[in-house]
Amino acid sequence: MDARGIIAKLRDGGRPSSEELGWFARGLADGTVSDAQAGAFAMAVLLKGLDEAGRVALTRAMRDSGHVLQWDLNGPVVDKHSTGGIGDCVSLLLAPALAACGAYVPMISGRGLGHTGGTLDKLEAIPGFRTGLSEEQLRRQVGEVRCAIVAASAEIAPADRRLYAVRDVTSTVESVDLITASILSKKLSAGLEALVLDVKCGSGAFMDTLKKAEVLARALVETAQGAGCMTRALITDMSQPLATAAGNALEVIEVMETLTGTSVNAALWDLTAALGGEALALGGLAADAEDGEGRIIEALENGQAAEWFGRMVAAQGGPADFVERWPDRLPSAPVMVEVPCESDGFIAGIDGRGLGEAVVHLGGGRLRDGDRINPSVGLSDLAGLGEGVMRGVPLCMVHAADEAAAERAVKAVQAAYRVGTSAPEEPPLVLKRVG
């Protein structure tokens, strides 16, 4: 068995066996497969595709290329994954809410990618918060605190780490088969019993149409189920930012306001409840998704979710009094500038990608690998779809490191908003359920 034969089979429209895909994944992990061969493999998959059995086999093989966690706990091990969007800080609400309901949540998360924010970057806006836990530390924390949000260790799905880097430089990131194997190999390595997926659709998402989002959602659900994990996907709207803030510390502020009831963001609350309800039902902690949704809402309302969030923050090196003192603990930008609307009317469209890129250029994301992030910068008080506006009224507030960066962001935000003469119909938060 060799890489050339597997690549040739794919190139010619054949279907590699599970043994061949397993061999290739091990070769990615141990270096037997060269970078050139990895790139050729990725391009062949992009152009010719894999069938469902091939996706399952590749996902399993990439998962098994590293450590796969095993658990012995008195409750189900569940998780959630989002395909990324603007102002999507649901994970920070959902993990502790699930923990409060009796689930165990070893959430392996990522950093910002392109115009979308990253859960790890948001949490690292909290002073002292550590996302790089060892496997032993992760096991201990999940056992004691029920939830942890961490970066993937070097032992988790090493085949994916290698293939992902190659995909990035060979223009093969868009392959649904490779996206599916990449996401699930990391998630399933956490030893999950149930997984709920949030597949974003709209101007701020990688999948900008419902058709594309549904293709990805079905691939993810079918593959995860085929790999032995109970899974359901919600296709959710990303035609506007989910939170009214975009930027790491600013999104943590919105999370804390919602967790503590200071100022509840209805969209964050509703989506957390919907995803959490599905996860609890899949994990056997609720009779159905509706029952599970009620349990998540109760955990948010009675303060239990906030309490478990505080335990997680303290366990991962953050302030022990963060839930009580969060306004004093988060960084703030030195320059704050309003973005004036340039005409009268209603917000008729929002370029979510444009807003995300504005945050990246403020320093809230990475223009290239290795860039340092400024956790304090971003956008707050973002106007939403259908909102009535007038010339000079603020569309949002820019938080910047200096005046020049703020001025550039003002122009970018103005370009991202489209004002019309009538209010559009706001799309539902959950567009479709799959699985």
Q: Which residues are catalytic?
A: 79-82, 119, 167, 182, 186-187
Helix (H) or strand (E) holding 170: none
Exposed e or buried b per residue across 272-311, where buried means at least 16 C-beta atoms within 10 angstroms of its C-beta:
bbbbbbbbbbbbebbeebeebbebbbebbeeebbbbbbbb
Do strands 335-340 and 394-400 pair parallel, antiparallel, or not at all (unpaired)? antiparallel
Q: Are 185 and 159 in contact (CB under 8 A)?
A: yes
Sequence-distant (≥ 6) Cβ neighbours of residue 195 within 8 angstroms? 78, 79, 80, 81, 187, 188, 224, 229, 230, 231, 279, 282
d(CA 87, CA 90): 9
Residue entry with tokens 């152009």: 47
d(CA 237, CA 426): 10
Q: Which two structure tokens, joined as six digits, stand for 239?
A: 């035609």
Q: Give how far Cα 83 sits from Cα of 139, 183, 217, 224, Å.
A: 26, 9, 10, 15
